[in-house]
């Protein structure tokens, strides 16, 4: 009889561990995952559109995105962002996209020349904050660098940076 009790206790422990692991996996799989899915630049008027997409299986609530497009001289980069305003919140369903526009910084002729020569870099960076279906807050931070090999708009674009991109 003692052996049966030990086996039953072990089976109960294994069942509890299995249930806990299953619950944790479900929480990870059944949550929103919002990230940058596309960046487009209009080659005529030059506005930038950033497209965020919920790649998860459930809605992302209280989505609040901020995009900044800024030119910095090499070595003077400052990627800090002010706190997001609360009035721009939205719900982003599973598979849905949210476009956010960004305006180019006003560059004078000297800065345009510096950009073409590599002394000035245009960065696009920001974050999107949201809550999953469990009410847990998440943040996705992103950073892209404008690259123009020959200085022409048609061959330029944004490339993802090795730093400044993270999510929780």
How deeply is 104 buried, as exposed, middle or buried, from its count of CB atoms within 10 A (0-12, 13-18, 19+)? middle
pLDDT tens digit string along 119-166?
Answer: 778 888 889 999 999 899 999 999 988 876 665 555 567 888 888 888
Element (H, E) at 133: none
pLDDT the model gives residue 140: 92
Average pLDDT over residues 82-87: 63
Instruction: Give the confidence band of 44 by pLDDT, cuts at 50, 70, 90.
Output: low
Closest to 30 (Cα-Cα) out of 65, 64, 62, 60: 60
Lowest mean pLDDT among 45-49, 52-56, 91-95: 45-49
pLDDT tens digit string along 5-38?
Answer: 888 888 888 888 888 877 776 666 678 889 888 8
What is d(CA 153, CA 113) in angstroms, rounded to the nearest whole number? 14
**What percentage of the chain carries pLDDT values higher than 70?**
85
Q: Residue 30 — φ and ψ, nearest 5°?
A: -100, 50
Quick check: 54 pLDDT over 90? Answer: yes
What is d(CA 46, CA 54) in angstroms, rounded to the nearest whole number? 26
What lies within 8 Å, CB to CB, of 157 at 6+ separation is 39, 41, 146, 147
pLDDT tens digit string along 95-112?
Answer: 999 888 877 777 778 877
Per the CB < 8 A criterion, the answer to whether 126 and 69 are in contact is: no
Per the CB < 8 A criterion, the answer to whether 59 and 94 are in contact is: yes
pLDDT the model gives residue 108: 78
């Amino acid at each position: 009889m003692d052996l049966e009790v030990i086996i039953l206790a072990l089976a109960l422990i294994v069942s509890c561990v299995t249930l806990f692991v299953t619950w944790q996996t479900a929480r990870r799989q059944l949550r929103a995952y919002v990230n940058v899915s596309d960046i487009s630049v209009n080659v005529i008027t030059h506005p930038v559109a950033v497209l965020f997409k919920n790649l998860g299986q459930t809605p992302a609530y209280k989505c609040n995105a901020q995009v900044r497009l800024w030119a910095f001289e090499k070595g003077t980069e400052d990627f800090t962002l002010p706190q997001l305003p609360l009035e721009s919140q939205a719900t982003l369903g599973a598979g849905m996209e949210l476009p956010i526009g960004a305006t180019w910084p006003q560059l004078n002729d000297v800065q345009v020349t510096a950009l073409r020569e590599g002394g000035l870099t245009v960065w696009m960076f920001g974050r999107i904050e949201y809550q999953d279906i469990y009410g847990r807050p998440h943040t996705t931070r992103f950073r892209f660098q404008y690259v123009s090999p020959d200085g022409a708009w048609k061959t330029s674009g944004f490339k993802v940076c090795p730093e400044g991109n993270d999510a929780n």
